[in-house]
Amino acid sequence: MHAQVDAFTHTCFMVTPYDAYVDVCAELAELTPGDHAKKSALFNSGAEAVENAVKIARTATGRDAVGVFDHAYHGRTNLTMAMTAKNMPYKHGFGPFAGEVYRAPMSYPFRDGLWGAEAAARAVDVLDKQVGADNLACLVIEPILGEGGFVVPAQGFLPALAEWCRDRGVLLVADEIQSGFCRTGDWFASDHEGVVPDLVTTAKGIAGGFPLAGVTGRAELMDSVHVGGLGGTYGGNPVACAAALGAIEEMRRHDLTARAREIGATMTARLEALRAEHPVIGDVRGRGAMMAIELTAPGTTDPDPARTAAVAAYCHQQGVVTLTCGTWANVFRFLPPLSIPDHLLDEGFDVVAEAFAATA
């Protein structure tokens, strides 16, 4: 990055291309699921990547409709607000929203108790009856929900959706913006069930905090868009690309997928121990270093956002930053940096344990 700043900081890739952008695309082609021919386009933010994935899907299919899921989060621009499920705080007062966005029920094992195939059948029935597969350009899904509560869909749900999409010419778009880049213990959350999406959106973990996002897809889909149809002044900024190349190199060198699994094992043990003591913890879930607990009235699925807020406030007072999420604001999501040393992870969870005891 420092070398890149010294060399040049901006040209606008569409005017004067540079190596770092192409190198990031080559990494994305190698790392994202599937070994088909791929191309990528780079943008500034996750929301912008999702918008562009929809543009590509619409051009490639000649169809308008976009299928999304309950509890989804896809960003804060007009189209991505329409795709996001939760009103407050993401949408309230900000409408009217983009049209042709349709919502299907998500697999949520803790709440619906359905097997993956059953939950997929429920979702595609809504899409078939309310939209019609022939009108659908794409289904956009977070393979593990982010803001929506770190919900891991039941096993078989994603493969069944992928098969339905393939049979009907609907493109499957995996929004891996939160779940990608080693977070779940694999490079991408889609990898755990061998799902190969047609398009993948990436951001967050890609560039060590620098603004960079990508859409990676089947080459023929990416090439279906007319010349000049996709782009932006700053997308794929050279310094951000250098940051991404450095970040990816570190992920490989330190085998951060393996480290995420280790962190996940530690967190699972701590969270299961906590659940044994505090029946307000109704569910422990997640993959790798993407874990969550859902707080409910004991023995029920009635959300307990008040206790969640109390535990969060206690942690904050002790200097531990916790993040809540979920449609009912009753979920703690734990997504420590993949570089966190064990002693800090333990110290953090000691405070979380104290917080549950202190607010009981």
Ligand X SMILES: *Cc1c(COP(=O)(O)O)cnc(C)c1O
The footprint of ligand X (CB under 6 A) covers: 45-47, 50, 73-75, 142, 146, 175, 177-178, 203
Choose between 50 and 280: whose C-beta lies nearer to ligand X: 50
Report, in Å, the least distance between residue 145 CB and ligand X: 8
Radius of gyration of the chain (CA): 20
Report, in Å, the least distance between residue 118 CB and ligand X: 25
Question: How far is the CA of 227 from the CAs of 40, 171, 230, in angstroms?
Answer: 14, 21, 8
Choose between 34 and 46: whose C-beta lies nearer to ligand X: 46
Closest Cα partner for 151 from 195, 108, 103, 194?
A: 108
Choose between 27 and 176: whose C-beta lies nearer to ligand X: 176
Instruction: Report, in this order, helix, strand and coil percent for the chain, each rounded to 5.
Output: 45, 15, 40
Question: How far is the CA of 234 from the CAs of 21, 46, 52, 216, in angstroms?
Answer: 12, 14, 15, 18
* The two three-digit tokens of residue 359, written as one number: 């607010």
Report, in Å, the least distance between residue 247 CB and ligand X: 15
91 exposed, middle or buried (CB, 10 Å; 0-12, 13-18, 19+)? middle
Residue 126 DSSP label:
H
Choose between 175 and 198: whose C-beta lies nearer to ligand X: 175
Report, in Å, the least distance between residue 76 CB and ligand X: 6
Contact 221, 60 (CB under 8 A): yes
First to last CA, the chain: 48
Name the closest residue to ligand X (Cβ): 46
Dihedral angle sign, alpha carbons of residues 227, 230, 232, 234: negative
Choose between 177 and 247: whose C-beta lies nearer to ligand X: 177
Report, in Å, the least distance between residue 147 CB and ligand X: 6
Report, in Å, the least distance between residue 88 CB and ligand X: 17
Choose between 178 and 216: whose C-beta lies nearer to ligand X: 178
Residues 6 or more apart whose CB falls under 8 angstroms from that of 128 comprise none
Choose between 47 and 114: whose C-beta lies nearer to ligand X: 47
Question: How far is the CA of 113 from the CAs of 136, 140, 284, in angstroms?
Answer: 28, 23, 15
Report, in Å, the least distance between residue 47 CB and ligand X: 3
Beta strand segments in the chain, E: 38-43, 65-69, 101-104, 136-141, 171-175, 199-202, 213-218, 281-287, 290-295, 323-325, 331-334
Report, in Å, the least distance between residue 142 CB and ligand X: 5
Choose between 178 and 296: whose C-beta lies nearer to ligand X: 178
